[in-house]
Amino acid sequence: MKRIDWYVLTELAGPFFFGVAAFGSIMIGTNLLFKIARYIVDWNMPVNLAGKILLLQLPGIIVLTFPMSTLLATLLAFGRMSSSSEIIAFKAGGVSFIRLVIPVLIVGILVSFLTIYINEKIVPFTNFETRRLEWEFRYKTRLPSVQRYLSFTPIDYKTGMPDYILYAKSFDGDTGTLSDVYFQDFENKRIVSIIEARKARWLERQWVFFDGKTYYFPNDDQPVIKAEFKELEMKKIDRSPKKIALSSKKSEEMTAAELKELINIYQKDGRNVNKLLVEYYQRFAIPFSCFIFALIGAPLGLQPNRSGSSIGLGLSIIVIFIYYVVLTMGGALGQAGTISPILGAWLPNVIFALVGICLIYKASR
């Protein structure tokens, strides 16, 4: 790493960590602390348990501050170098503005990947643990793993009819057991069999029905055939207990892979998944805004009156506000199907990237 890169990075480091602390404090003070105080006062929650919930929520808050802190750090760093004429000195020494921005963009990409990593490896777990602790304290029982009145109907897209219909009175996520199962099998747009079973379990990568009856429907002009069974293997149902249990999780408790798995399941059932698709693409689009803010922050910081930290903080808040307005509008359009979900999620990044490129081009002339 050249000395010039190291110099720019040292200018970024202080404002970045200041931004994480400042924006994080604002988020904690305006939302989380009130929530924790309500637990202690209204629920009589022990302070140590409330403190544990507070700590579990911190990773999710910290990653939210990364894009804002990247923008603030870039604005302040380039504002300070611009106000002290260091940018002019660099240019006089043959160092172009684009050359100065390169280490900032690399930092933006690294922070983007760090945000994605934390969002994938830590935040889903801490969100689930928070809900579990809240539930177990409030209701004095463990978080239920049983789903009631479960049903799914995957569509055969060749015929437009259900491939099969499965209904169960309950599903136990701990044992992977379906209870009071009702199954209809379709072929060529007609029911070929109905199965009623006391329970079904996932054994050796397939469902096995226990203690039930099967009704076969050979043809319209032939009588129904009834048969009883103790065990019946059912290979047609490809949804494992792990896949079924996904629907009991909140989306913020899922990794991106789990969320994509749930989307695939819902798509097979013919459900509208635009909302989940927008959320899935935003899992990557929002962290990538760290790079976008680094791109747009450097040329904005060059303006002659941006040297003050208060002005830099105010400007970063305005830019972030506009970004989230566009993010919200893009998400709404993506969910409504007006534009594709991936475009709705990435719309602010596309717009701000174009603006950033234009500003850098102008500043480098």
Q: Which two tokens stand for residue 213?
A: 């009856």
Q: What is the mean pLDDT of the chain?
A: 89
Number of structural domains (the chain) is: 2
Q: Which two tokens stand for residue 276?
A: 């989940």
Q: Which residue bears the tokens 């933006």? A: 108
For range 265-292, the mean pLDDT: 93
Residue 86 within a domain:
yes
One-letter identity of residue 222 = Q
Residue 32 within a domain:
yes
Q: State yes or no: pLDDT of 305 exceeds 60.
A: no
Q: Which two tokens stand for residue 8?
A: 């720019």
Distance CA(294)–CA(300), nearest Å, equals: 10
Q: How does strand 146-152 pair with strand 164-172?
A: antiparallel
Mark whether 125 and 166 lie in a shared domain: no
Q: State yes or no: pLDDT of 307 exceeds 80.
A: no
Other CB atoms within 10 Å distance of the CB of residue 130: 19
Query: What is the pLDDT, as a whole number, of residue 259?
Result: 95
Contact 181, 209 (CB under 8 A): yes
**What is the biggest distance separating any 2 CA atoms in the chain, rounded to whole angstroms?**
94
H or E element that contains 44:
none
Residue 164 within a domain:
yes
CA angle 359, 361, 364 (to 5 degrees): 105
Instruction: Determine phi and psi for 95, rounding to 5 degrees.
Output: -95, 115
pLDDT band at 310 (very low <50, low <70, confident <90, very high): low
Mark whether 202 and 134 lie in a shared domain: no
Query: What is the pLDDT, as a whole number, of residue 47?
Result: 92
Domain boundary, last residue among 199, 232, 248 = 248
Other CB atoms within 10 Å distance of the CB of residue 284: 17
Show the beta-strand stretches assigned E in 4-114.
none
Mark whether 96 and 175 lie in a shared domain: no
In 164-273, alpha helices (H): 241-246, 256-268
What distances in angstroms separate CA 310 from CA 14, 70, 94, 306, one per listed residue? 15, 16, 32, 9
Domain boundary, last residue among 248, 282, 299 = 248
Query: What is the pLDDT, as a whole number, of residue 57?
Result: 93
What distances in angstroms separate CA 171 from CA 208, 243, 245, 353, one per listed residue? 14, 12, 9, 47
Contact 115, 287 (CB under 8 A): yes
Q: State yes or no: pLDDT of 219 exceeds 70.
A: yes
Distance CA(90)–CA(101), nearest Å, equals: 12
Mark whether 123 and 27 lie in a shared domain: yes
Residue-wise pLDDT for 28-81, tens only, equals 888 788 889 889 998 899 999 999 999 999 999 999 999 999 999 998 898 888
Contact 72, 255 (CB under 8 A): no
For range 337-365, the mean pLDDT: 92
Mark whether 114 and 25 lie in a shared domain: yes
Mark whether 43 and 115 lie in a shared domain: yes
Mark whether 197 and 126 lie in a shared domain: no
pLDDT band at 304 (very low <50, low <70, confident <90, very high): low
Q: What percent of the chain has pLDDT over 90?
A: 55
Residue 256 within a domain:
no
For range 160-174, the mean pLDDT: 89
Mark whether 34 and 112 lie in a shared domain: yes
Residue 259 within a domain:
no
Residue 147 within a domain:
no
Distance CA(85)–CA(154), nearest Å, equals: 65
Contact 131, 253 (CB under 8 A): yes
Distance CA(3)–CA(93), nearest Å, equals: 14
Domain membership of residue 195 as a residue range: 154-248
Q: How does strand 225-234 pair with strand 155-156?
A: unpaired
Mark whether 180 and 83 lie in a shared domain: no
Instruction: Determine phi and psi for 160, rounding to 5 degrees.
Output: 75, 5
Q: Which of 18-32, 38-52, 205-219, 278-292 has the highest mean pLDDT?
A: 278-292
Other CB atoms within 10 Å distance of the CB of residue 110: 12
Residue 101 within a domain:
yes
Mark whether 54 and 118 lie in a shared domain: yes
H or E element that contains 222:
none
For range 295-324, the mean pLDDT: 77
Mark whether 69 and 11 lie in a shared domain: yes
Distance CA(310)–CA(314), nearest Å, equals: 6
Mark whether 15 and 97 lie in a shared domain: yes
Q: State yes or no: pLDDT of 315 exceeds 60.
A: yes
Distance CA(26)–CA(39), nearest Å, equals: 20
Question: By CB neighbour count within 10 A (0-12 exposed, 13-18 middle, 19+ buried), where does 195 fall?
Answer: buried
Residue 104 within a domain:
yes
